[in-house]
Amino acid sequence: MDNKTLKNLREDLVGELGAINQYQEHIDETNDEEVKKILGHIRDDEKEHFAELTKLIKRIDEIQEEKFQKEEL
């Protein structure tokens, strides 16, 4: 895998974290239960995307894989 692809995947990972935090902030700022429910669902989808990207990076970056194994992740 080329370095550009890994860089892009890592940037995508950062984007997912930003989205998770943003949705959580919006959930915390509203009193509307329907809005909370919908945003919570969207936030959880972003968490799934984060997990998928992490798994992909782990698979294609041997050093990252070693670090995950060392930390038992």
DSSP state of 71: T
pTM to 2 decimals? 0.88
46 with 19: CB under 8 angstroms?
A: yes
pLDDT score for 1: 65
Range of the domain at 30: 3-70
Q: How far is CA 22 from CA 13, 30, 35, 46, 58, in A?
A: 14, 13, 14, 11, 25
The domain tally of the chain equals 1
User: In 3-state terms, what secondary structure has residue 73?
Assistant: coil
pLDDT in tens, the chain (73 residues): 689 999 999 999 999 999 999 999 999 999 999 999 999 999 999 999 999 999 999 999 999 999 999 998 8
pLDDT score for 2: 82
pLDDT score for 8: 97
